Chain A
Amino acid sequence: EVQLLESGGGLVVPGGSLRLSCAASGFTFDDHAMSWVRQAPGKGLEWVSTISSSGGSPYYADSVKGRVTISRDNSRNTVYLQMHSLTGGDTAVYFCVKGEHSSGWASVFDHWGQGSLVAVSS
């Protein structure tokens, strides 16, 4: 059974930083691209970032580009999202998502974690 367990969320002040982690199990981790998708309170879904199976190709939404870094450790079956210069607009539940393919291109988001809440407030 595929399991994705996010951690690292919490309350952070504006301008602060946070690193989310997602521990994966139940599938061959280094065969699949991984993504982060967020959902602001009461709002819809927004793609944030994707990383290919090898870690060599990261992709970012314009809304976070330059402030966020996605990475992965295939030896630990874990994907990370490092976020800097956080604002209230970043307040959301962040979901870790498994991709269907290794590259992330034209790849279905086939399994989702339960999410980790990031709240940016003073």
Chain B
Amino acid sequence: EIVLTQSPGALSLSPGERATLSCRASQTVGSYLAWFQQRPGQAPRLLIYAASRRATGIPDRFSGSGSGTDFTLTISRLEAEDFAVYYCQQYDGSPEKVTFGQGTKLEIK
């Protein structure tokens, strides 16, 4: 099983600041890496897929980078609606191999 480790577990920032979230895979996943945002009481929403491609309707302040085992989600200027939990997910190959990271909670400072 490919283990995804997200860091930090929690991040406290102010609106307008830049957020950098990390996701590290225990083995290479190529570019088969997605990022999801989950607000309290809501379903996850796809932000980034193929490591760096923004999903439809996602603001350009969200960007993804990386390949292989190390990936980053960057939010350039935080807005109030961005404070949520973020999950990375790898989808390299069979559906049975899909795994998620444990999440990073982005909190308002």
Q: Could you tell me which A residues sit within 8 Å of B by CB distance? A: 33, 35, 44-47, 50, 59-61, 95, 100, 104-115
In the bound complex, do residue A47 and residue B100 qualify as a contact, i.e. CB atoms below 8 Å apart? Answer: yes
Q: Contacting B91 at CB < 8 Å: which of A46, A59, A106?
A: A106
In the bound complex, do residue A44 and residue B87 qualify as a contact, i.e. CB atoms below 8 Å apart? Answer: yes
Distance of A95 Cα from B100 Cα, bound (Å): 14
Interface residue B23 (Cβ < 8 Å from any Cβ of A): no
Given A59-B96, A106-B91, verify A113-B46 contact (CB < 8 Å). no
Residues of A within 8 A of B98 (CB): 47, 50
In the bound complex, do residue A50 and residue B49 qualify as a contact, i.e. CB atoms below 8 Å apart? Answer: no
Minimum C-beta distance from A114 to chain B (A): 5
Number of interface residues of B (CB under 8 A): 25
Residues of A within 8 A of B32 (CB): 106
**Closest partner residue, chain A, to B33 (CB atom):** A108
In the bound complex, do residue B43 and residue A106 qualify as a contact, i.e. CB atoms below 8 Å apart? Answer: no
In the bound complex, do residue B94 and residue A47 qualify as a contact, i.e. CB atoms below 8 Å apart? Answer: no
Across the A-B interface, how many residue pairs have beta carbons closer than 8 Å?
61
In the bound complex, do residue B93 and residue A110 qualify as a contact, i.e. CB atoms below 8 Å apart? Answer: no
In the bound complex, do residue B95 and residue A33 qualify as a contact, i.e. CB atoms below 8 Å apart? Answer: yes
Minimum C-beta distance from A103 to chain B (A): 9
Given A109-B89, A110-B55, verify A47-B49 contact (CB < 8 Å). no
In the bound complex, do residue B92 and residue A106 qualify as a contact, i.e. CB atoms below 8 Å apart? Answer: yes
Per-residue CB contact flags for chain B residues 58-96 toward chain A (1 = under 8 Å, else 0) read: 000000000000000000000000000001010111111
Minimum C-beta distance from A84 to chain B (A): 20
In the bound complex, do residue A112 and residue B93 qualify as a contact, i.e. CB atoms below 8 Å apart? Answer: no
Residues of B within 8 A of A33 (CB): 95
In the bound complex, do residue B95 and residue A108 qualify as a contact, i.e. CB atoms below 8 Å apart? Answer: no
Tell me which of A95, A108, A111, A113 has the highest count of chain B C-beta atoms within 10 A of its own C-beta.
A108
Q: Can you list the 6 inter-chain pairs with the closest CB atoms, starting with the nearest?
A: A50-B95, A112-B43, A59-B95, A45-B100, A108-B49, A104-B95
In the bound complex, do residue A108 and residue B43 qualify as a contact, i.e. CB atoms below 8 Å apart? Answer: no
Per-residue CB contact flags for chain B residues 29-68 toward chain A (1 = under 8 Å, else 0) read: 0001010100000111110011000010000000000000
